[in-house]
Amino acid sequence: MSDVTILGGGNTAFSVAANLTHKGHRVTLWETPSFEHTLEPISQTSEINLVGVEAQGPAKIHRLTTDVKEALAFSDLVLVIVPSYAHEPFIEVCTPHFTTDHTVVLMPGNLGALAWSKALRDAGAPLPTLAEVDTAPYVCRKTEPDTATIWGTVTALGLGVLPNTSTEDVRARLDKLFPGVTTYPDVAACGLSAMNPVVHPAGVLMNAGRVEYSRGEFYFYDEGVSPTVARVITQVDVERRAVGKALGYDLKPANEAFHDAGFGPKGDLWAAINGSRMLTALRAPGSLDSRWLTEDIPFGLASWSSVGSQYGVETPTMDAFIDVGSIVMGFDGWEASRGVAELGIKDLSLDQLKTFLGSGG
């Protein structure tokens, strides 16, 4: 059994902490002092009640803390389970306490391993092994302040590692926590394989009126991703794969990725989603002010568009959703994005990019 530090106090962080605890691992769960209220419902007992398709019942977390030094000293395996827009403040807090012995896994990453690497190098800090996965390990939510529900488990979590020479070592460690981990050639291939930015912005914006009218009281994948919406999402996916091809990757189409990860049956995108028991159980976000836009546009679509632009790939459908989404979100998704400069790969040739992804800088 492993000692694991989890950074974050949201839906997936609670679910992972509880399930790993049920499996016998010792977990330290850390949240920033400014978000300490997320830990408050379990502060007296240290117990997260887990329901759903994984383990059942209360899981007593080994340690809860807002002391980052304590959290990072507990284990050299660190799972960062927060939205991508929280990465920057987390980097600032964690940087003084990282060592080269740490392995830091972003769950998911959205190319974040590159941004973390740049920030740490700019600060002159020790570089841990950095990794990211292509999706969260569970379809889950906090259904009560002290309760997490897991509706489904990803059966083949995809992993990318920086440097990619450490891929097998990290895969072996993560596989003990999330059996069935598969690997990408590097973190760029992994970040370009995230499915949330493919589905969420197009799906939410094409259902904007329904989201506002119902306040999210409808089943997003079951009702919102109709065959027509699925065709538009598929076009976003075509552009994502074109960006990957320019970098030398043969990325799976979204429908195949959903099936291979255990979300749904074989078929086109609509069939894979419509036949997914775990996805069709999810309601839409309660408002348009949701990470399905505020994360997946600037840290998904806009990042991919920036990479595509640098390497000669046009992404008109993505760009349209970034433009419309910026109006809906009330801020410029382009300006807030994590582009090639923030990823630390600006002006790198393809050969230079491959060298960097192999060595980690």
Mean pLDDT (the chain) is 95
pLDDT tops 90 at residue 124:
yes
Q: What angle do CA 247, 252, 254 make, to 5 degrees?
A: 120
Q: Are 141 and 231 in a shared domain?
A: no
- The mean per-residue pLDDT over the stretch 133-142 comes to 94
One domain for residues 27 and 139: yes
pLDDT tens profile 236-246: 999 999 999 99
246 and 267 fall within a common domain: yes
Cis peptide before 179 (omega within 30 of 0): no
Indicate whether 145 and 249 sit together in one domain: no
pLDDT digits 0-9 by tens, 69-82: 999 999 999 999 99
Per-residue pLDDT, 235: 97
Residue 180 dihedral angles phi and psi, to the nearest 5°: 100, 15
**Residues 287, 233 within the same domain:** yes
Q: Same domain for 94 and 187?
A: yes
Q: How many whole angstroms separate alpha carbon 18 and alpha carbon 224?
A: 31
* CATH number (domain holding residue 153): 3.40.50.720
| Residues 154 and 287 both lie in one domain | no
Residue pointed to by tokens 């759903």: 52
Report pLDDT digits (tens) over 85-117: 999 999 999 999 999 999 999 999 999 999 999
Copy the structure tokens of residue 361. Answer: 């800088």
pLDDT of residue 278: 76
Number of structural domains (the chain) is 2
Q: In whole angstroms, what is the distance from residue 102 CA to residue 122 CA?
A: 18
Predicted pLDDT at 148: 97
Domain-ending residue, one of 191, 211, 244:
191
For residue 46, the enclosing domain spans 3-191
The answer to whether residues 213 and 353 belong to one domain is yes
Residue for token pair 């790993």: 20
The pLDDT assigned to 221 comes to 87
Nearest to 292 by CA among 323, 325, 338: 325
How many other C-beta atoms can be found within 10 angstroms of the C-beta atom of residue 245?
Answer: 13
The answer to whether residues 112 and 106 touch, using CB atoms and an 8 Å cutoff, is: yes
32-46, 274-288, 344-358 — which is least confidently predicted? Answer: 274-288
The pLDDT value recorded for residue 326 is 98
In the structure, what pLDDT confidence band is assigned to residue 42 with cuts at 50, 70 and 90?
very high
Tell me, yes or no, whether 202 and 144 share the same domain.
no
Count of CA atoms in the C-beta half-sphere (13 A) of 253: 14
Q: Of the candidates 166, 191, 216, which is a domain's last residue? A: 191
In the prediction, which pLDDT does 360 show?
A: 84
- The enclosing domain of 331 has a CATH number of 1.10.1040.10
Q: Give the per-residue pLDDT at 272.
A: 87
The pairing of beta strand 147-153 with beta strand 47-52: parallel
- Reported as a single tens digit per residue, the pLDDT across 307-361 is 999 999 999 999 999 999 999 999 999 999 999 999 999 999 999 999 999 998 6
CA–CA separation, 291 and 167 (whole Å): 29
- 129 and 74 in one domain? yes
Is there a cis peptide before residue 197, judged by omega within 30 degrees of 0? Answer: no
| Residue 260 pLDDT | 86
Both 225 and 329 in one domain: the answer is: yes
22 with 106, same domain?
Answer: yes
Nearest-angstrom CA–CA distance, 49 and 23: 14
Q: What whole-number distance in Å separates Cα of residue 313 and Cα of residue 306?
A: 9
How buried is residue 101: exposed, middle or buried, by Cβ count under 10 Å (0-12/13-18/19+)?
Answer: exposed
Once rounded to an integer, what is the mean pLDDT over residues 57-68? 97
Choosing from 191, 223, 257, the residue where a domain stops is 191
